[in-house]
Structure 1
Amino acid sequence: MHREDNEKKMRVSFDLDEVLFVSPLTHKTEPELMFPFNKIFKERLRLGTPDLINGLQALGYEVWVYTSSFRSERYIRTLFRLYKVKFDGIINGNRHLREVQKDHKETLPQKLPNRYRISLHVDDETVICSWGREYGFNTYQLEAQDDDWKDKIIARAEEIRGKSEP
């Protein structure tokens, strides 16, 4: 039996906008989807997104989306399936409000990855990454175009996994 079979897999989550969905004017992107899908799904994926997600899963990680957008889970799953990517979990704005914010009187941060046992969250927003320090979750801030982004995220995930193993 493999080690992963009797242990919980480490989870890595990604924001969508400006992380996985980027503008071809400012970032290298995956090829546009074929007609008619390119008319339904107008978002463009950062170059290397399918390779990174599938690579993380091959290394034994669960890969999730954690976005504050209100795109439906079905929309997100369908778009990524067209790129041969299958997420292990999706948290959108609706799910976050229902399961995390719930009936809390104080407004909680728009993302709390540790509530879903996510070990590393990749985001572009400085405020989300600063909340990681305050609320106790690990982040990787992905900013502008970076040809080495996949290697850096895998290295960060491996560093966190290494610290959590006995």
Structure 2
Amino acid sequence: MIISFDLDDTLIPGTKQFDTQERTFLQKLCKVEKLRVGTVALMKACQAKGHKIYVYTSSYRPPKRIWWMFYLYGIRLDKVINQQVHNQFVHLPFKPSKYPPAFNIDLHIDDSKGVEMEGHHFNFRTIIIREDNLNWADDILAAIG
């Protein structure tokens, strides 16, 4: 299964706030962004089950920067899709903010109710996590089996 994760307000705090993992000296030195508590363990558990892990974000952060950030947390991402990549590959008459089927993604994890509505409308699977859900990683593991 290919599982993608949104960044802002899902894994990285922004307007939504949640507990984040402690960063190492190297991560602080490299100005790596803080990740939501449970992210690394969840992604490693998914990879141990044979799933591929993508980041699918509407930000314009360079893919190499995102890949490097996760690498410094011990996660090797299989693919990074930022807004530029999305714009290159999603050519539809409608303009969804995310369209996982264009990248063969089986499940997308996000914080946005709008992405959830797009998933229902355009037939792609999403799990929407709230900032106050402390069991979010367990919920995702339960959903993927």
TM-score normalised per structure 1 = 0.80
1: distance between equivalents of 2:106 and 2:30? Answer: 33
Pairwise CA RMSD of aligned residues? Answer: 1.7
Aligned runs of 1:11-160 on 2, under 5 Å?
Answer: 11-22=2-13, 26-34=17-25, 37-38=27-28, 40-41=30-31, 43-101=33-91, 104=92, 106-158=93-145
Residue-pair matches, total: 144
Bigger drift between 120-129 and 39-48 goes to 39-48
Q: Percent identity?
A: 33
State the 4+ residue runs in structure 1 displaced beyond 3 angstroms.
none
5+ residue gaps, structure 1: 1-9, 159-166
The answer on whether the counterparts of 2:116 and 2:126 sit within 8 Å (CA) in structure 1 is: yes
The answer on whether the counterparts of 1:57 and 1:63 sit within 8 Å (CA) in structure 2 is: yes
- Whichever residue aligns with residue 26 of structure 1, its letter is Q
5+ residue gaps, structure 2: none
Higher relative contact order (CA 8 A, sep 6+): 2
| Per-residue deviation, residues 35-86 of structure 1 (Å, max 9, x unmatched) | 5x42543521000111100110101111110001000011001111111011
2: distance between equivalents of 1:76 and 1:26? Answer: 20
The higher radius of gyration belongs to 1
